[in-house]
Amino acid sequence: MTPFSYHKPASVGEAVGLADVSSRFIAGGTNLVDLMKENVVRPERLIDITGLGLNGIQATANGGVLIGALVSNAELAWASVIEQHYPLLAEAILAGASPQLRNMASTGGNLLQRTRCYYFYDTGTPCNKREPGSGCPARTGLNRIHAILGASDACVATHPSDMCVALAALEAVVHVQGRAGKRQIPFADFHRLPGDAPERDNQLAADELITALELPPPTFEDHYRYLKIRDRASYAFALVSVAAGLNLNGGVIQDARLALGGVAHKPWRDPAVERTLIGQAPTQALFTQAADALLQGAEPLAHNGFKVPLAQRAIVRALSDAALGAKARGATS
């Protein structure tokens, strides 16, 4: 690792006061320390935010919950309020990483793990995300794991989080604080598509810190599914993942959410496609139409064409499982 200085502020105000483009906040460190070991990221200062007390999970006035940025992924997945009222989120978190990493990784850090690919990690190759303007070898190189939606000439990397796919479906709100004050960012606007600036994964300014994540009142408590398709049974990134949530009444869909992981620079959602499900009976034909619509703009690369039919089938299966309901399908989470 390239040497850096270490700071442990006692307040959020002090933390954001220390931050600029040459610093990084650190909590769990599971992605950042790894990137620093590879010299992909070389901050001059690390600002340890683990003393800021952002550790609680509390009810909000409107019936939702506010999750402190430092709550670990394991604590969050196993919190009784999340298990009981947001099981889609619990299922997604437990599909990600390993038990060790989930003990370390924080809620805020999960959002801020880098959208990445193996060229991003390999400092012997160009990468527009690592060194803007240097080129993208993935577009014409090995691109089996890469994006099929929303990519650009500059970058075809995918966001690796499972948790964020569920948060997109649940329409979480990200609470941030910077030197200019506080603001709240709807989840759909938090992460970026690469465009011509793939070095930026999200909308945060250098001095802005995620302080909490807000979930709206519980929904999809029985009719949900996080389905993750990967190369091995556990502990691998998604080739394709699907977060599906349905509200059903009298055999008719009242509300629907559908988000994809492993296919784009950010969790992929299209509310217009979700609206086509509302007012309909949950049938395989309907779900197939929705899957086709969500994947209509897919532009696979040389080695990842398989992701299009894989995603299509995964969407139909996730929506079918969600329609069946967790109790009926015997889910334990």
Partner 1 sequence: MSANSPQSGEAHPLRLTINGQARSLQVYPWTTLLDLLREQLDLIGTKKGCDHGQCGACTVLRDGKRVNACLTLAVMCDGADLVTIEGLAKGDELHPLQRAFITHDAFQCGYCTPGQICSAVGLAEEGRACTREAIREQMSGNLCRCGAYSNIIAAVEEALPLMRAKANLQGGPRA
The residue ranges that bind partner 1 (CB under 8 A) are: 1-7, 18, 26, 29-30, 33-34, 36-37, 44-46, 48, 50, 74, 78, 97-101, 103-104, 233-235
User: Checking DSSP bridges between strand 45-48 and strand 5-7, what pairing results, if any?
Assistant: parallel
3-state SS class at 92:
helix
Nearer to partner 1, 5 or 283 (CB): 5
Listed in sequence order, the residues at least 6 apart from 24 whose beta carbon sits closer than 8 Å to its beta carbon are 32, 41, 43, 45, 46, 47
Q: Which is nearer to partner 1, 6 or 62 (CB)?
A: 6
Give the shortest CB-98-to-partner 1 separation in angstroms: 3
Considering beta carbons, is residue 234 or 249 the nearer one to partner 1? 234
CB of residue 83 to partner 1, shortest distance in Å: 11
Beta-bridge mates of residue 246? 256
Selection from 166, 171, 147, 146 nearest residue 94 by Cα: 166
Q: Please report how close the Cβ of residue 201 comes to partner 1 at its closest, in angstroms.
A: 20
Assigned token pair, 327: 């109790």
The alpha carbon of residue 295 and the mean position of all alpha carbons in its chain are separated, in whole angstroms, by 19
Cα separation, 169 vs 193, whole angstroms? 17
Rounded Cα distance, 12 and 49, in Å: 8
Q: How many CA atoms lie within 13 A of 145 on its CB side?
A: 15
Least gap, CB of 250 to partner 1 (angstroms): 36
**Closer residue to partner 1 (CB): 238 or 301:** 238
CB-wise, 236 or 285, nearer to partner 1? 236
> Cα(101)–Cα(32) distance, rounded to whole angstroms?
13
Q: How far is the CB of 313 from partner 1 (least distance, A)?
A: 23
- Shortest distance, position 113 Cβ to partner 1, whole Å: 12
* 1 or 281: CB nearest partner 1: 1
